[in-house]
Amino acid sequence: MAVNKGGEPQAAIVFRDACVKRGSTIIWRHGSFSIPQGSVTAIVGTNGAGKTTMMMTELGLQPLEEGSIEVLGRPAGQSNADIGYVPQSYTSDIDSNLTAEESILLGLTGSRFGFHPISQKERARTRQAMEFMNLTDKAHYRLSELSGGLRQRVAIAQALVCDPKLLMLDEPLANLDLANQRDTVHVLARLKRELGMTVQVVAHDLNMLLPILSGAVYLLDGHPHYAAMNEVLDAGLLTHLYGTSVQVVTTPQGDMFVTPSTDETQGAQIDRHDPTYLAELHHHQHRQDQTDPELGQRTGTNKGGQA
């Protein structure tokens, strides 16, 4: 079972020293953290840091080199019936003749072999999912006729139709305009609030998600870390994370925004990943016997933040 630390909500996802390799390259390692149930978590990191790979490991579709991952209390891959997954390709690649309704229905019946007529109950649940995603009037449209934003709503409805406990979305905000981004974020907020669902989102841009995020998994220097939101919103950390200068701004409403600084010549030397500093900052424990070659030299020059 999942760890239950003194009254804290039960963990939805637990990483224990997880390491992933593709070919002979280590994508990331030393992943040890747990994500509480009912939280909305972003997975952030630069391109190629292994964000999608992380979702694949959680789904049990990408084997681990070392360590273990537990999802919803069971080893990764065994709880997939309770996970809704929306891949990134969904909005762009799908050119299908299926209607929105048929496609959502497949989320319920698509993995079933054998001859099964569709039951009234399944139809009703499909209608419910469509209502939740505000798609009822689009039920009979073909996917190929829908815009990217609508297709994504269909994809989310397809993931929701089986009443998942955990919803995973890969770059749900990419390729969407501002209004559609806001709608998607609103849907995620409702899922958390009304259904207590655990939500995990791969995201490039945190801004839209900030109001609803409980925390973030950030992939930095080949190591995944988890931190609550107030720790993540640190200009120094974000600058390291994205490899470019980032500022945190508190607006009068109390909302925090992460914005790239307007120009690069403000005096602050842009820091590119000083692993020593980061290792200290985020107290991730490297095993003493395994020295990371990158960590060999101790420079400690970085001061983070802006001048």
Element (H, E) at 304: none
Q: Give the one residue of 32, 33, 74, 106 binding another protein; rule: CB under 8 A.
A: 106
Which residue in the block uniquely carries the two structure tokens 């207590």? 196
**Does the protein bind another protein through residue 57 (CB under 8 A)?**
no
Going edge to edge, which strands form the sheet with 11-22? 25-36, 11-22, 66-71, 74-75
The residue among 112 and 283 lying less far from another protein, judged by its C-beta, is 112
- Residue 239 · residue 246 · CB < 8 Å: yes
The one-letter amino acid code at 212 reads I
Q: Give the one residue of 11, 12, 86, 130 binding another protein; rule: CB under 8 A.
A: 86
Neighbours of 285 (CB within 10 A): 9
Q: Return the residues of window 115-154 that contact another protein according to CB under 8 A.
A: 115-116, 140, 142
Q: What are the backbone angles phi and psi of residue 137, rounded to the nearest 5°? A: -75, -5
Size of the site for another protein (CB under 8 A): 34
- Residue 191 · residue 167 · CB < 8 Å: yes
**Residue 106 Cβ vs another protein, minimum distance, rounded to whole Å:** 5
CA distances from 239 to 40, 258, 273, 303 (A): 22, 10, 9, 11
Cβ-count burial 18-29 (b if 16+ within 10 Å, e if not)? bbbbeeeeebbb
Q: Give the one residue of 26, 59, 189, 227 binding another protein; rule: CB under 8 A.
A: 59
Stretch that binds another protein, among 17-25, 84-92, 212-220, 226-234 (CB under 8 A): 84-92
The residue among 82 and 231 lying less far from another protein, judged by its C-beta, is 82
Stretch that binds another protein, among 6-14, 40-48, 91-99, 225-233 (CB under 8 A): 91-99
The one-letter amino acid code at 211 reads P
The residue among 81 and 124 lying less far from another protein, judged by its C-beta, is 81
**Residue 172 Cβ vs another protein, minimum distance, rounded to whole Å:** 14
Q: Give the one residue of 37, 158, 180, 181 binding another protein; rule: CB under 8 A.
A: 158
Task: Mark out the alpha helices in the chain (DSSP H runs).
Answer: 51-58, 90-93, 100-109, 120-132, 148-160, 178-195, 229-232, 235-242, 275-281
**Does the protein bind another protein through residue 43 (CB under 8 A)?**
no
**Residue 130 Cβ vs another protein, minimum distance, rounded to whole Å:** 16
**Residue 302 Cβ vs another protein, minimum distance, rounded to whole Å:** 38
Interatomic CA distance for residues 256 and 235, integer angstroms: 11
**Does the protein bind another protein through residue 81 (CB under 8 A)?**
yes
Stretch that binds another protein, among 83-91, 124-132, 186-194, 299-307 (CB under 8 A): 83-91
The residues of the shown chain that bind another protein, judged by CB under 8 A, are 59, 61, 80-81, 83, 85-87, 89-90, 93-99, 102-103, 106-107, 109-116, 140, 142, 155, 158-159
